[in-house]
Structure 1
C-alpha cells in the first residue's frame, strides 16, 4: 500500500532554466535577442558570457531574415552643398513604398563606406585621413554618434565582416578593425553596399572583392594574414551537355554585388545577373527571363537583401513639370533547381518620388 504524500512537502522543482536546454536551442534563442542586450547578458553568468561571444551566435544572427531596408539618396544643391535623404521600405498588404526616415546627417556620409551592423549603420571614411573617423547611425532612434577614432591611417577601399570582426581593405590588404576599435562590439552586417569601384561582400566567413576579370578572396582562418588570394573570374558555360562544361574567362566590369541567403550575386556588363558557385569557384548565370529587365549594367542601382529576396532600385520616369523622378523597385526571389538558380520577379512597382538629379548613396538591409 502506497503511503500518502506529505502535504507539507513542496513539489519537486523542474529545471526550466534556459541553460538546461541543448546548446543549439540556446544559441537560437539568443540570436533573437537584440544585440544591445549583450552586455547585460554577460553579467548573468560565465556560461552566457561564453555564448554571447561565440562566433556561432554571430553566424546565426546573420542568417535571420532581413526585414528592414534603408536607402540613402543625395543631391547637389545650387550652392554646391549636399542634401541627404534617408528612406525606409514599408510593406502594405499588396505593395511596397519608401517613406522618409528622419535622422541626423553624417559630416562625410557622401564620402564613406557603409555597413549595417544589427540595427546600426557604420560609416567609415574612405579616403586617407588621420585619425580615421567612424560614425554610427542608430536606426531605432535616428541618432548619429561618433565612434572611437582609428589608431592608424586607413585608406578604406572596401569592408567586410568575418566572425564578428570588421575588416577594412586599404592599400591592397585587409586590416583587422577589431584591433583598432577597443570596447566596440562588432557583429556581421546584414548587407554591405557602396558606390566605389571596389565592390565586396562577406560570404562563408570570407570576404570577396569583385573586380573586372578577377576576384580577391580574404580568409583569415587559413593563416593568410594581410595577404589576399587572387583568382581570375570565370564563368561556367553550360551549353550542350554532350559538349561537356567549359570555363570561359569573365573579363567584364561589374555594377554591384549582393549576398542573398548565403549566395553571392553580381550584375556583370554583358553576362547580366550571375551567382557565384563557391564549390567550383565560377560564376553561373541566373536563369531568368526578367533579369535583363531589372538588372542594368552602367545604370546606377541600389541593391540589398530583403526578406530573403534581392531588392533592386533604379530611377525611372522623369517628370519635367515637377522636376522629379520615380524610384522603381524589383523584388527578386530565387529557387535552386539542381545545379541551377532560377530568378523570378515577385513584385515590381514605383516605391517613391524624389527630386530630379538624386543619386543612390547607401542601401542597407538589416
Structure 2
C-alpha cells in the first residue's frame, strides 16, 4: 500500500453516516486506512463531542447546498467566485487559518453523498448552459489535502468534463497531482497554490505543508502540461523583513513560471474576527504578527492600517509587474480607494472584478 502523506497519518478515527457507508468515497477511505475500522452512525445519531485534540475523518451525508457564493465581506470588492462545497476543516496547522475560528474541533468532514452533489450541479449548469461559472473547492477546506484518501477532486474533474462552461480552481498548500490524468480540457482546470514570504511559510504554515519550492515546482509541472495556474498571496503578513521575504518569493515564482502560464494572482492582507485572534494567541503563542497595528474595518474585521496595507500591496504588485504580470493581479476584499492607490485603477476600469476574473479564468 502506498504510504499516505504525513499530514494524513495522524487520523485516529473514521466515522461514517450509515446512508453513505457504501459510497465510493467511503470505499476508498477503507482501502487507504485498513488499520482503522469505520464507526457507522445510524440515521439521527450525532458524532460524539469532546474531540478537539484528535484528527477524525467524518464521511457525512450533507443536507445543505453544495453550490454557493463566496461569503465575502460587506463593503469591499469580492472576486465573486462560487464555492463547490465538498467538506470542512483541514489537517494542516497554519497559524493564521480562519478555519480554527469557524470549527472548534479537529474533525475533517467530507460530504460523501456525491450523487446529491452531481444532481445539484447538473441542475444548475444545465439550466444555464450559456452562463459561465468560475468555481472552487478551497474555501472551507484545502482542495487537495484529503485527495490521497478520497479522490474527490478527481471525481469532480471527471464530472465537470461534461460542462465546458465551468472552470474549476483547486487551491492548496500541498502537492497532489493525481487528478491530472482525468482532465479532458486543461483550460478548464486551474491548479492554485498559496504563496507567502519564506519566513511565513516556514514558521506559520505548519502541519507538513509543501514548501514554496515544492508548490512552485508542482505549478511548473502543471504549466508544462498545458494548465494555467493561480497564485494567492492571502494573507500577506506584516513582519520585520517582509520586503526581502516577499521579493524572494517573487524571484522564485519567475524562476518556475512564465507570465503567460499564470491566470491570476490575488493579494489580500491578513484580517481577522475577534475569535480568530483568540485562537491564534491560544494555539500559536509565538505568532507575534497578531499583535500588529490593526484597526476595525467597516465590515467589523480587524485589518492592518491602510498605509501599511497599501505599502505591502504596492511593493508586491510592482515586483510582479516587473516580471511581466499586470492584468492578472487583483486585491481580495479591498476598497476602490486601495485599488486606486496600489494599481492606479479600480475594478470598474477592468469592466468589474467578477467579469474580469471570469475572462482571466477562461483565458480571454
TM-score scaled by length of structure 2: 0.27
Larger radius of gyration: 1
Higher strand share: 1
Task: Considering fraction of residues, name the structure with more helix.
Answer: 2
Structure showing greater relative contact order (alpha-carbon pairs closer than 8 Å, 6 or more residues apart): 2
How high is the TM-score relative to the length of structure 1? 0.26
